[in-house]
Structure 1
Amino acid sequence: MLTQFCCLRLETTAKIIGWLGSFVTIVVVIICAELLRNARALVGTLTRRGYHFDDPEGAGTVLIIILAVSIVVLFINAFANAGLVFGTIKKYHKLILPWLIITALGTVLSLVALIIYGFYSAIFGVVFITYLWIAMYSLYSKIKTENEQRSFKRRARSIAGNLRKKYIKYCIYTVYMYKYICIFSFIHVITVIICIYKMTLPHTNRFCH
């Protein structure tokens, strides 16, 4: 596991990547939304500029579908980036998990596209993203471990508190039992003394001569 990313603390890296990724994603969403609003006009403009489409109407529909799916994916990515930031700030490792999953899927798809289409110039980007993913996974594991340790300590304190309460109740119960035993023993001793005293009294004759 890594402890730094390019001489930066993992927490600092996560905040930078999260905020930067959120900003870029929002900008791209705005651009895609504008293109989606004018998708058919864009196809018409491309046709007038010399691009040939066998079915311009169908090309417009395909472009609308692609842009709509892209916007949905970008929104998911924006939430993942926000989760990376707030998960780091709030020390809540589960918020970091969506970013790890989405980035892992994106990296795998990029690697497949690189192999299929021969985009070998993009290999450095894939290596960088893989390194970044390992760094963020290290941060995820670190925060998760810290949370588990804090949770264990809280449970231990809770158990200790319950045991202390039970011990106090037991002590109080023992004191009351000891008090009642002492009272009973005292009464028993008094009773025995009275009986012995009566037995030692001289027998007096009830009849007078």
Structure 2
Amino acid sequence: MLKGVFCMRLHTAGTVLGWLGCIVSFVGIIALSAVLINVDTIVSHISISPPDQDAAHMIIVTACSIGLAILLLNFLSSVLLVLGTMKNRHLFLLPWLINSGIGLAYNVIQSLVGLSLVAQEASAGPIVVYVVMSGLALALNIYIYYGILSLFKHIQSIRDQESRVVLQPKAVHQTDSYPNYVKL
């Protein structure tokens, strides 16, 4: 397990990544909401024939609605990441880990599909650039995921130790008497 992420302690990295996720999700929610509000204006500015405008309207509304739902889930999981990190509650980190795990799987599939599409139509130069860029992005996402997973395991071990201390029965040699410094 990692001891830090990006030269920060795990708790600091969890808080920073959670706040960054909240900010990015909030800005995305505002942007997609603005697109949904102005979808008629956007469709009228696209130079397509009138029968196709209904289809374009439906595609934009559907895509923005799905994106809005994903951004709301990202926002909630980022808020829970911040709260879980600050309060040392490992179960609050689970929504972020599940959400990011699904995102990682999607990124791997997207990279493979993109690579196959680029390989069919391009020469070796764009293929190498695509492989390097998608590989770096995937490696960064895996590193961040592994860092938050390390934070999850760290908080979980701390909580387990605290629960063992609290639930630990009294030792046999202890008695219910006053401490030694009180006795005269």
- Output the TM-score relative to the length of structure 1: 0.71
Does the aligned pair in 2 maintain the 1:19–1:81 contact within 8 Å?
yes
Does the aligned pair in 2 maintain the 1:40–1:57 contact within 8 Å?
no
- Output the TM-score relative to the length of structure 2: 0.80
AA aligned to 1:15 is T
1:146 maps to: 158
2:62 maps to: 65
2:21 maps to: 21
For CA contacts below 8 A with separation 6 or more, give which structure has more relative contact order.
Answer: 2
AA aligned to 1:13 is A
SS of the residue 1:12 aligns to? helix
Match of 1:160 among 167, 170, 183: 170
Between the aligned partners of 2:7 and 2:49, the Cα distance in structure 1 is: 51
Does the aligned pair in 2 maintain the 1:81–1:99 contact within 8 Å?
yes
Shift of 1:17: 0.8
Between the aligned partners of 1:70 and 1:7, the Cα distance in structure 2 is: 32
Between the aligned partners of 2:12 and 2:6, the Cα distance in structure 1 is: 11
Between the aligned partners of 1:28 and 1:83, the Cα distance in structure 2 is: 18
Which stretches of structure 1, 4 residues or longer, exceed 6 Å deviation after superposition?
none
AA aligned to 2:149 is Y
AA aligned to 1:150 is E
Shift of 1:52: 6.6
1:35 maps to: 35
Does the aligned pair in 2 maintain the 1:53–1:59 contact within 8 Å?
no
Closer, same or farther in 2 for the Cα pair 1:123/1:30, shift >3 Å? same
2:107 maps to: 110
* Identity percentage of aligned residues: 24
Between the aligned partners of 1:10 and 1:150, the Cα distance in structure 2 is: 19
Shift of 1:40: 2.5
Between Structure 1 and Structure 2, how many residues are aligned?
A: 160
AA aligned to 1:126 is L
What runs of 5+ residues in structure 1 fail to find an aligned partner?
Answer: 169-209
Kindly provide the CA deviation profile for residues 11-45 of structure 1, in whole angstroms up to 9, marking residues without a partner as x.
11111111111011101100100101111221221
Based on CA coordinates, which of the two structures has the bigger radius of gyration?
1
AA aligned to 2:110 is A
